[in-house]
Amino acid sequence: MPMSDPMLPQVVRVLRRRRELPEVWTLEIEPASDAAADAPNFEPGQFNMLTAFGVGEVPISYSGDPQRSQRWVHTIRAVGAVSTALTRLRAGDVLGVRGPFGSAWPLAAAEGRDVLVVAGGLGLAPLRPAIYRLLAQRRRYGRVTLLYGTRSPDDILFRRELERWRRRLDVDVQVTVDHAVGDWHGHVGVVPALIARADFDPARTSALVCGPEVMMRFTLAALRTAGVAETAIHLSMERNMKCAVGLCGHCQFGPTLVCRDGAVYRSDLLAPYLPIREL
Amino acid sequence: MNPPADADVSPAVLTVDGFQCLIDELQRRGYRVIGPTVADGAIVYDDLASVDALPRGVGDAQDAGRYRLTRRDDEALFGYAVGPHSWKRFLNPPRLKLWSSRREGDGVRVEPAPEPRQPLAFIGVRGCELRAIAIQDRVFLGGRYVDRPYDVRRRGAFIVAVSCGTAGGTCFCTSMGSGPRAQGDFDLALTEIVDAGEHHFVVEVGSDAGREIMAQLPSRDATSADCRQAERIVAATAASMGRSLPAEGVRELLLDNLDHPRWDQVAERCLSCANCTMVCPTCFCSSVEDSSDLASEETARERRWDSCFTTDFAYLHGGSVRATTRARYRQWMTHKLATWIDQFGSSGCVGCGRCITWCPVGIDITEEVRAIAAAPARTGGSDHADGHAQD
């Protein structure tokens, strides 16, 4: 009985490509052939390894709706050779996929509680599947708040969707930018500053945080100040990753392997290590 | 490897000629026989055609940053400590093709790389190396995902262990509990006896496969005197070891001292050359490289050993997470001695001393631990460390 090889990518096709921002693209791809077709086949917070054949492989979080199992959605910023090659794929092109890998946002554990989603920059992408599920199962949760910060109004990811969510009466959506330009009339400043103004009950709030590491450190401090328990805060870490299955050693963060123990962590498990520089 | 089914496997004595029969028998059974031999002024592991390829009468002198072969005044076949090679280069080769792909029409077909047909037989695996293999077994085979290339090589491997009759200049296996006696998962374990014109091996059988092979070799039952002599040799080796690491508390010590000034001090000496990670028998980190022909018709992914001492290792968004040598040395040492325990259930160090010998500036991991232990300060990681200790 041949054992499956976790390093072997499956070949799938691009279904659709959409430009989000000047260097950010969303790819909709076929799910891996061994994934369930008619049931959720990944958990919000998980990621895939995507291969541009002949170029390389990178970890990319799911950014789509977990209820839509017929397509896997990934939002990619073109920064290096592999991510650039991936963002140049068109509908019908092939790519390699391994996954899903990694831990998930604790959405079941958050039922009955207020949920505070804090995202910075492209960190909104790994949180979007969680937002879809929160909204799809809105009655199971208390107050739902989304705080999103980005550099400038031109860098706002998923802008139309944010506007749509903002029109709902059962979600509080706040967007802030570091640098206001033109006709921006919204918040200006860093996203942790929005936490003090948000309406949630710290004693029964679950916080989901994803963004640049410095943003997450300050968010963590603001959440602590607000009185949210360390064990109710989850954050998604990012490290260089080559294998995604705990065998290559690249994604170590302190005693953990991000691919195996994360990328979504309960913050009390990371708290001793987050302040250590260059860990 | 399964332990022998019946308990009637008393130790045997094998002569040097009998040792040649062992190599012959392994080859006859289709094994690729690999063992120590001399190349480029060092003991390395390579294919062995006969007992004559073993480093007969060769010893070594090792110290921090120093390695020299010496001439012994006897004809011992295993009279040296471990060299720069370890068995990981055969179980997890330094460069390994994982798969290739070929364009077919408007699609792509991925083909797994071919697997080796020949099972491996390792001759001369030391106690520390048995421990190292067991540690890599936990990394590659013990988690949720099994590493297939390692698994196919490891599963059929036949292991002839050798207890050490001489301690190397940088060895500290006694303090790590991994040697100098060969113990653990072996098929046969030998202790070499070279004494007053006598030259033979006391052989302990560790598996059914080992017993089957032994049954084909010219040997006699070991007497209690033979066994006592073997024990004395191993005890003398254990007693002559100059270095040690504390058996307990190193994990907590290091995680509580992640900002200790000693890291700055060692960073001034460390060249970040990665030698320690290449020679370490447990360091397993790897990277992958994709390649393609000019037309992108055929592509391949190759895995190669990597090291946490390179700046690329922790590259993220335009820079390395560990830009300084201080951070990279700290990552290596805390991983080896501390966080390895969190990740894989044991220390990543076996006490073989290779990282000390092959460090071009002679950094000594045991000395670095002692320096931090001499002036510890609680600077970080402590909450988690304490919490974990109570689990």
- Please answer yes or no on whether A260 and B146 come within 8 Å at the CB atom: no
Residue B165 resides in a domain: yes
Distance from CA of B113 to the nearest CA of A (A): 10
List the single residue in B with minimal CA-CA distance to A13.
Answer: B107
- B26 plus B110 within the same structural domain: yes
What is the pLDDT, as a whole number, of residue B377?
79
Which secondary structure element, helix H or strand E, spans residue A222, and what is its range? helix A213-226
Residue B245 resides in a domain: no
- B131 plus B155 within the same structural domain: yes
Residue B7 resides in a domain: no
- B184 plus B256 within the same structural domain: no
> pLDDT by residue (tens digit) across B86-133?
999 999 999 999 999 999 999 999 999 999 999 999 999 999 999 999
- B85 plus B200 within the same structural domain: yes
Kindly indicate whether the domain formed by A114-270 is annotated with CATH number 3.40.50.300: no
Three-state secondary structure call for residue B197: coil
| Chain B residues lying within 8 Å of A96, measured CB to CB | 101, 108, 110
From B239, B270, B289, give the residue that closes a domain.
B239
Three-state secondary structure call for residue B119: coil
- B196 plus B338 within the same structural domain: no
- B235 plus B275 within the same structural domain: no
> pLDDT by residue (tens digit) across B222-274?
999 999 999 999 999 999 999 999 988 999 999 999 999 999 999 999 999 99
- B40 plus B188 within the same structural domain: yes
> pLDDT by residue (tens digit) across A12-54?
999 999 999 999 999 999 999 888 888 889 999 999 999 999 9
The CA distance from A216 to A151, in Å, is: 15
The CA distance from B122 to A191, in Å, is: 59
In chain A, where the domains are located: 10-101, 114-270
- B212 plus B338 within the same structural domain: no
The CA distance from A141 to B6, in Å, is: 62
Distance from CA of B241 to the nearest CA of A (A): 31
Distance from CA of A108 to the nearest CA of B (A): 23
State the best of B98, B145, B146, B316 to mutate against chain A, taking most chain A CBs within 10 Å. B145
- B120 plus B53 within the same structural domain: yes
DSSP H helices in chain B: 16-28, 88-91, 127-141, 148-155, 173-176, 208-215, 224-239, 250-255, 261-269, 275-279, 325-334, 340-344, 354-357, 365-374, 382-389
Residue B293 resides in a domain: yes
Q: Can you list the residues of chain B whose pLDDT is less than 70? A: 1-9, 378-391
- B139 plus B176 within the same structural domain: yes
- B83 plus B157 within the same structural domain: yes
For chain A, what is the largest distance between any 2 Cα atoms, rounded to a whole number of angstroms? Answer: 64
Q: Are A175 and A197 in contact (CB under 8 A)?
A: no
Q: Are A244 and A49 in contact (CB under 8 A)?
A: yes
List the single residue in B106, B313, B338 with the smallest CB-CB distance to A240.
Answer: B313
What amino acid is encoded at A195 in this protein? I
Interface predicted TM-score (ipTM) of this complex, two decimals: 0.94
- Please answer yes or no on whether A260 and B383 come within 8 Å at the CB atom: no
| Chain B residues lying within 8 Å of A249, measured CB to CB | 284-286, 306, 308, 335
Q: Tell me the two tokens of residue A203.
A: 């004693």
Distance from CA of A47 to the nearest CA of B (A): 16
Q: How many domains does chain B have?
A: 2
From B217, B239, B261, give the residue that closes a domain.
B239
Residue B244 resides in a domain: no
Residue B28 resides in a domain: yes
Q: Domain A10-101 - what CATH class?
A: mainly beta
If contacts are CB pairs under 8 Å, which of residues 140-199 in chain B contact chain A?
140, 143-148, 151
Using DSSP bridges, classify how beta strands A72-77 and A24-29 pair: parallel, antiparallel or unpaired. Answer: antiparallel
Containing structural domain, residue B307: 250-389
The CA distance from A217 to A223, in Å, is: 10
> pLDDT by residue (tens digit) across A118-169?
999 999 999 999 999 999 999 999 999 999 999 999 999 999 999 999 999 9
List the single residue in B98, B317, B382 with the smallest CB-CB distance to A79.
Answer: B317
What is the pLDDT, as a whole number, of residue A1?
35
Distance from CA of A63 to the nearest CA of B (A): 19
- Put simply, whether B306 touches A (Cβ < 8 Å) is yes
What is the pLDDT, as a whole number, of residue B387?
36
Residue B2 resides in a domain: no
The CA distance from B362 to B355, in Å, is: 9
- Please answer yes or no on whether A250 and B285 come within 8 Å at the CB atom: yes
> pLDDT by residue (tens digit) across A242-265?
999 999 999 999 999 999 999 999
What is the pLDDT, as a whole number, of residue B389?
34
Say if residue B180 is preceded by a cis peptide, omega within 30 of 0: yes
From B194, B219, B239, give the residue that closes a domain.
B239
Contacts of B11 by beta carbon, 8 Å cutoff, 6+ apart: B202, B203, B204, B205, B221, B222, B226, B227, B230
- B195 plus B255 within the same structural domain: no
Residue B4 resides in a domain: no
Work out the end-to-end distance of chain A between its first and last CA atoms, rounded to an integer number of angstroms: 42
- Please answer yes or no on whether A246 and B144 come within 8 Å at the CB atom: yes
The alpha carbon dihedral of A202, A207, A212, A214 has a sign of positive
